[in-house]
Structures are given as structure tokens and as C-alpha cells.
Chains A and B, each alone.
Chain A
């Protein structure tokens, strides 16, 4: 079965620090990858997605992710985090013609002032 791994469970950063959250996916052919964000008390919102083409994907709020096929990775990055980025971040994937997403376990990001 396909899987998505997020190895950072809880990350604490100071404002203006750079962010990189890891995401690895299992082999299984063609894959679409997503990063979702869940702000405290809210539902999941899409940050960005990789479908095909340019492996460097830019999303909302200054986030970006790079699809590196050779490393089975899709890490999320932001050059300078803000306090308002405090949230839980989920990486997810869908393979081939499957109709359901597989989520990672999430990374809780805490940004301190």
C-alpha cells in the first residue's frame, strides 16, 4: 500500500526563521502530492499541490515545495515564517487513478515571537 511519511512531528521556530518540513512518499507509479494546512480550530486548507511539470511548486502565503523524484520527497519550505504560520501541516498523496488520498501523520509547527 502507498504511504506518506512525515518525520518531523513537532517543530518550534522563531519568527523570521526558515522552514523546511519533510515529506517522503512511497513508490507506486504516477503520484500527485499535496500539502494541506490546518490552523488551530479550523479545517484543512490546501497550501499547494504537485500534479506534473515544474517540480518546484509555489503555493499560498509564500510556501513552496519541491518534488524530487529520485528521493521520493516533497518537502515544504518557507524562507521566513510568521507567528500566523502556527498550524499543523499535512502532506498527502494520490497514486495513479486511485480515488483516495493518503495522508501523513502531520507536523505541528509552532512559531514563537
Chain B
């Protein structure tokens, strides 16, 4: 099992450009999450999904959109990137059958917006 994978690993964007980050998991997990990690702020939830075709806003959703067309994939989109979106983005997944809700994390995507 590859677990949770993210592409790309690094990306540099100019202000106003758009991009999509892909998260894939092969554990048949129902729940998937997108976080951003910034120094001194820990991990903040952007959007999450509790099943194929469903998404919900997290703590910091503005400027991002997501889609969950397939159970194993969770896409995070930036329509018009801003320097404030420079961050490390982590995807995670968990099973609704996992009573303790342990989340499994991907390796992260480091995004710089200039």
C-alpha cells in the first residue's frame, strides 16, 4: 500500500495563477482532509470530505475549492493564488470505521506564491 500520496511535492506560482493539488489514498477511507501548515499556527483545516461527492468547509476555506469525484481522490484547487497561500499543504484520510479516527497523512506539498 502506498498510503496517502500527494502531487506535486513542490510548486511555485505567480500571484493570480491557478493550480490543483491532488491527494490519493489506497486504503478505501471514506474521510479525506486538506490542511495547511504555517509556522506557529499548527495545522489548520481547509476543507474535508466524508464521502464521495461530498465536501465541507473547514477552518480556513477562503480562496480554495475542493472536489471528491472518486472515493480515493481529493483535489484542492486554488483559482487565483495569493502570497498568503504560501504554505505547506497536507492531505489526510481516515476510515469512518476507525473508532479512534486516526488520520493518515501524506508527505505534503510545499507551495510558494510570488
Contact = CB atoms under 8 A, between A and B. Distances in A.
A47 B102 CA distance: 11
Interface string A36-56: 100000111110010100000
Interface size range on A against B: 20 to 34
Nearest to B42: A105
A49 B99 CA distance: 11
* Chain A contact surface mostly: loop
A43 B101 contact: no
B40 A90 contact: no
Interface size range on B against A: 20 to 34
A45 B102 CA distance: 10
A90 B43 contact: yes
Interface in A1-44: 6, 9, 32, 34, 36, 42-44
B74 interface: no
In this complex, which of B42, B44, B90 has the most chain A Cβ atoms within 10 angstroms of its Cβ? B42
Contact of A43 (B41, B58, B107): B107
